[in-house]
Every structure is written in C-alpha cells, then in structure tokens.
Amino acid sequence: MTGHISRERIKLVSCLGVSRKEHFSRAFLPHFVGHYLGLGIKPENFLITLCAPRRGEEIEWAENALAQYGIGVSHHLIKEYDCYDFYRSDFELMSRCPDDDWIVLVDYDELVEFPASLPAFAHQLEQRECNAAGGVLVDRFAEHYHLAEIKEGPPIWDQFPIQARFTKDVVRGFDGKICLFRNYIEVNLGHHAVVGTRREPTKFSHHRLRVHHFKWDSTLEPKLRMRREQFKADIERYHWHEEPDRILELLNDGRIEFRK
C-alpha cells in the first residue's frame, strides 16, 4: 500500500527532566531527536516540555541543544520531578492539537521502531480505518548487562546491543505501550493503555511495535534510589513503588545480574 499523510498531522510529545539532580543523560539527546526526525516528524511538531527545579543553566542548555535541530520548547515545568506532572504537561500540549492529528507520546528513554516512514505508516492505518498502534518495551542493555554510560558518538543500537523483555519477565512491570494514536483517543499515565475516546471506538492496527527502552545505563542506580524514597513516601499514589527495590536487588558492581 502506497501513500502518506501530511507530516503536519504527526506530533511528538515528550517531557524531559533535564536536571543534573535527576541524572539527565545529555548524551542521549542526539539519539532521541535524530531517531524521531529520521522517521519524518518535523522539528516544529516536537512538543517538548523541559522540567527542572529552577530556571538556569540546565534549562538553557536543553533549549540550545534542541534549537540546533530547529526544535523549540513548548512548555517549562519549573519544579521537582514528578511523573504525574510530566504527563499532565504532555496531555495539556496534546489538547492544543486537532483531534485528527496523530500523536507519538514517548518517554525520553524510548525509541519506537516503526515498519515504514511514519507518514506512510499512519496513512496505512487510516486506509485500514485503524486509529491506534500498540507495542511492547524491548529493554536494551550494553554487553554483559553492564550499566554503561551513554555516548553521543556510536549509534545507540551498537552501544546497547542486547535485547530482552526485562521489564516484563524480571521486574514484573507492565510493558505494553500505546505508540501512535489519533488525538481524540485518551491514554493513561505512562501511555500503557487506552482509557477513553472522544470519537470513534479504538481500533488497533495488527502491528505490534517495538519500543526500544534505553533506561539501563549508568544513571540507573542513582535514579532508582531517588525514586525508591519518593515512592515509599506515598505508596498509594505510586502504586508501582516496589519496582525500584526489585531492580536494585539485581545490581552488582555496575551491572545487572540478569536472570529470568
């Protein structure tokens, strides 16, 4: 099937916590931006929120880095990290877009693999009267499951060549993702599931997309220790509060003792 939809109708939405306190990986930014630009998303259709506890060098660095790709910042979230605030910002940016737009809603560590250029793939979905495509996390690891530092230079796929269903098989987390959807469809926190629609019922594509998950780098352990304290302070709000402990138990001398 040939054809494509207008690139104007495809929007990428993401919130980036750019604080060094949050162990933000600056080196991953070229990989993240390059991947989605390469799929055919226009720079002006990146709807990006930057989050940091205060305005300053960290926000300025991220603005300048994105500007090199022609990408502007849509919103600033000046406060400490909270995942609920991240997604509220994402949903608010989506509310500014027409219902007929296609949305790619991703976390900073997620690179979705599509079977064709994104405009062509979205056209295929429309031709088949589908309005969403789902996928699963594919966790990416460096050799020997070492928690390696991300580098700008080599392709990210080469830096983290091992693929595993670690989130599902070991962490026992939910690894389903809603990868692409029309903007009248409503998804939940973490974009794991559809929770409603303002128009037609959700009809998924038969494609099961792969969401490559680059969480497993040198920033993992300090992030997990911060999250563990944050989550345990309010276990009802953070109902997944046991996940950091399950992962930390598997860390040993800078690597993950991977076992199924």
**pLDDT given at position 243:** 86
pLDDT tens, 119-135? 999 999 999 999 999 99
pTM of the model: 0.94
R_g of the chain computed on alpha carbons: 18
Separation between Cα atoms, residue 118 and residue 124, nearest integer Å:
10
Strands 255-256 and 176-182: unpaired
**pLDDT given at position 83:** 87
Residue 114: CB atoms within 10 A of its CB come to 19
Going along the chain from its start, the domains and CATH numbers come out as: 7-256 (3.90.550)
**pLDDT given at position 1:** 44
**pLDDT given at position 259:** 59
Separation between Cα atoms, residue 181 and residue 103, nearest integer Å:
5
Question: How distant is the alpha carbon of residue 149 from its chain centre?
Answer: 19
Beta strands in the chain (DSSP E): 10-17, 46-52, 75-78, 102-105, 110-113, 132-141, 162-164, 176-182, 185-187, 194-197, 204-213, 251-252, 255-256
- The residues of the chain scoring below 50 in pLDDT are 1
pLDDT tens, 41-65? 999 999 999 999 999 999 999 999 9
